[in-house]
Chains A and B, each alone.
Chain A
Amino acid sequence: MAKSSQELPPGTLELLALKVLLTGPMHGYAIMRMILTRAGTELRIEEGTLYPALHRMERRGWIDSEWGLSETNRKAKFYRLTADGRRELRAQESAWRQISSAVGQVLGGKPREA
């Protein structure tokens, strides 16, 4: 039986997109490809859900966008991380690690060291 892929918890896609954009400006399709490449078959993501997340982050000032030409010479919207986005990425990443660690410890049955 094949291993079933998991859906992303709410809000996680924004964190992943910010992390991917840390490597440089790219359009939505490239962001999604990189996320899927890194996640492999572990995550099941509806590709379209990326775009409302990108637009929300843009409205919040975490990312900027501008139109340009893709590698295939097509008009594409490129996103770039802003200073606010970097701060937000650090905060979300830290929070995620803390939660992940805490959940892991609970599931592992090990008491946390004081």
Chain B
Amino acid sequence: MMSTWLEKLGIFARAPDTRPASEVIADIDQELEFHMAERTAELQQQGWEPASARAEAEHRFGDRARVRRECVKVQLGEKIMWQRIQGISMVIMMLTMVFVAFLLVRQNHALVAQQNQTAGTTHLLYPQLVNAKPNVLEYLTAHERNKVFVEGPYGLPDGRSSTRSAAVSAWRSELEEDPKDTRKTEEVASRLLALPDQRGIDILVDLSNDLSQEHFDPILKPLIKNLAQPGFLRAVEALVEAPERPSIAVLRGRRAVRAYSWHQTPSPEWYARWRDEEPAEVLRANAELFAMELQDLLGENITLNREHVEALECARADLYAAHQIDLGALLGKRVDPVALQAKAKVYNQRTQELMETVASWILESKKR
């Protein structure tokens, strides 16, 4: 039984005829026609009329069309079977390729979505990434898909996104386009600072070594005005340290930096004061002092002073430190963009609450 099946499958048969089907069929036709011709000739030799002889030969031969079909099936059946197997294999292979391509595209979409999701956390990750273990950085930078994650999408002056280095170059050209037009430069600087996620600060820090002297004043002015915003002091600090011949704006900036003391770790006394006393009371009192300081610097009616800001920064530093610990813990294990996004969201939300508190104090101070 088994051998019969194997035989039917052609296992014991010779390899399929590799000639074209038309050639095989022509051979069959020729062979059958030879038989008919020989039989007809023999019958004619026996005295049959040609037409009768041919008819008799066909009669003895039987159903020629059926015989031809059977011969073709025997000769080409396996070939057709192999062709079908080949065709089916091709279809399966193509479907597999399409499926794999679909999976790759879907995975790519997921990566892009993940990158978009993590884009907002970039500025928070930088300090941590700089201090991260080499193998973590190596991993992040070695994978193209993490490039955006590491560098973040930086806005160009025309609104498009780019890498940090390209953005720095583009904004520098924009800022240096017309050095004498301080109003325009100030407007460009304001647009730069308005980039989301404080990307403008990062770009300004990068620019601080390259910007020409005449651009400092128009850039510093909006920066100093926004000194209480997160990260602005870092930009001011970077800018005011660069020029060899400081302008009035640079001198003011330096004063602002000293007053603001963002870069200094808050003293234990400040921490103790902030922790032991009601934060709102501390912040309220110090905000008034900081406003006075700013009023001196900018000549505008702002009622915040240094102590306010220091107290504010104590609170913010505390938040930031906690956030850094969270980031460190996450980076120590594995980079989980969703978790980072959540942490960044909480951090930003708390920072925003603090800033709103200060803003309300400013308004109250103005009323008084």
Contact = CB atoms under 8 A, between A and B. Distances in A.
Interface of A: 27-29, 32, 46-49, 51-52, 55-56, 59-61, 67, 70, 72, 74-77
A49 B67 contact: yes
Interface string B291-302: 000000000000
A74 B34 contact: yes
A47 B36 CA distance: 10
A113 B53 CA distance: 53
Interface of B: 7, 10, 12-14, 27-28, 30-32, 34-35, 37-39, 41, 60-64, 66-67, 70-71, 74-75, 78
Given A46-B61, A52-B70, A28 B14 contact: no
9 contacts: A29-B35, A32-B35, A48-B67, A51-B67, A59-B10, A60-B7, A72-B41, A76-B34, A77-B31
B64 A77 contact: no
Q: Is the interface of A mostly helix, strand, loop or mixed?
A: helix
A55 B76 CA distance: 11
Nearest to A27: B34
A74 to B, nearest CB: 6
Nearest to A55: B74
Nearest to B74: A55
A29 B12 contact: no
B76 to A, nearest CB: 10
B68 to A, nearest CB: 8
The 4 closest A-B pairs by CB, nearest first: A46-B62, A48-B67, A52-B70, A48-B62
A47 B35 contact: yes
Nearest to A36: B60
B321 to A, nearest CB: 85
A60 B74 CA distance: 10
B251 to A, nearest CB: 102
A59 B37 contact: no
A70 B34 contact: yes
Nearest to B30: A75
Given A52-B67, A59-B78, A67-B27, 12 more contacts: A28-B31, A29-B35, A48-B63, A48-B66, A51-B35, A51-B67, A51-B70, A60-B7, A72-B38, A74-B34, A75-B30, A77-B31
Nearest to B75: A55
Nearest to B77: A59
B74 A52 contact: yes
Contact of A47 (B7, B30, B61, B78): B61
Nearest to A76: B34
Nearest to A32: B35
A77 B62 contact: no
B5 to A, nearest CB: 15
A59 B60 contact: no
A77 B28 CA distance: 9
Nearest to A71: B38
Contacts of B38: 29, 70, 72, 74
A76 B32 CA distance: 10
A70 B67 CA distance: 22
Contacts of A59: 10, 13-14, 74-75, 78
